[in-house]
Amino acid sequence: MTSDRSPATAPLVDQFQRRISYLRLSITDRCDLRCAYCMPERMTFLPRKDVLSLEELHDLALGFIDRGISKIRLTGGEPLVRRDMMELVRALGRRIGHGLEELTLTTNGTRLTEFADQLYDAGVRRINVSLDTLDRAKFAELTRRDSLPQVLEGLAAAKAAGLQVKLNTVALKGVNQPELPRLISWAHEQGFDITLIEVMPLGEVEADRVDQHLPLSVVRDDLEQRWTLVPSGHRTGGPARYFDVVETGGRLGLITPLTNNFCEGCNRIRVTATGQLFACLGGSEQVDLRAALRSEDPDGALAEALAVAMRIKPARHNFAIDHRGQAPAQPRHMSMTGG
């Protein structure tokens, strides 16, 4: 059977027949925190000239919507540190119901007090907020910034604005491990979902990731000594497996890139702030969309670049943290790729 759709409008389907419908679009690699598991203290950020303009990001997003991308998550770095980023959010928000089903955002929460109402007014209804501890001293140690009060104020502002909040918590051995039950309880008391994530070996950091890696199988065993975890059919389009916690009445997600590979049903691609499309978070396979956008035939070049991306998207990532001194799976940091 042949399709009468042109390459510029045909749905994105990879070599394993996975339909790609979810774009994680980084709008900056810059961040106002310096989380110890994510980047070094003296992080070198990209020259601004290398980063796509807001107009280019908008054109790129529209091109993806035409190819069947129905969900876009804006990421960074920290997306809310980019000047005038709300112009992009408002422009994309106008496409909700017109090819785009959902526009979401991942943020560290430091600037939510300023932007929560604006995000809601622009059509955003759900956000992810990274939060690894409720202990102020530990937060300052982990992020190298004393910003927990601003994050908590931002979460309150998001809740008041009507945004649905999901906390993302990286489980760190010996750091926040004892606090995880308290953090889950607090999140559910606030009406927030929460997802625990295994640390990912992306980019060089000062610590050895063997010392940071906490398998979520261990965490789940501990939590099931406290609570009743009932598998949930809830899905958000991402890789988390969800459970309903009977005693708290809330929802808990687990993302296990190391202990339980979840790539079989992957529907995601990532584009960096410089326009590099990474077909897999844990892989080096990439195509240059910036060059396509700036070519003499942007539509044709973009269609060809996306065809290449579908051919090179791998079956799965190959993360591992199993010995001291191990090199990261990829040299680039998460803030460069986009979370």
Binding residues for [4Fe-4S] cluster: 31, 35, 38, 263, 266, 280
Is residue 102 helix, strand or coil?
strand
Residue 121 has a CB neighbour count (10 Å cut-off) of 14
Cα–Cα distance for residue pair 105/27, rounded to 1 Å: 11
> Whose structure tokens read 């000239």?
49
Sheet of strand 276-278: strand arrangement: 229-231, 241-245, 250-255, 193-198, 164-171, 126-130, 102-107, 71-75, 22-26, 268-271, 276-278, 286-288
Could you list the residues known to form a binding site, using ranges.
Answer: 24, 31, 35, 37-38, 73, 77, 106, 130, 166, 200, 263, 266, 268-270, 280
Could you list the residues known to form a binding site for S-adenosyl-L-methionine, using ranges.
Answer: 37, 77, 130, 200
CB 14 within 8 A of CB 269: no
CB 321 within 8 A of CB 201: yes
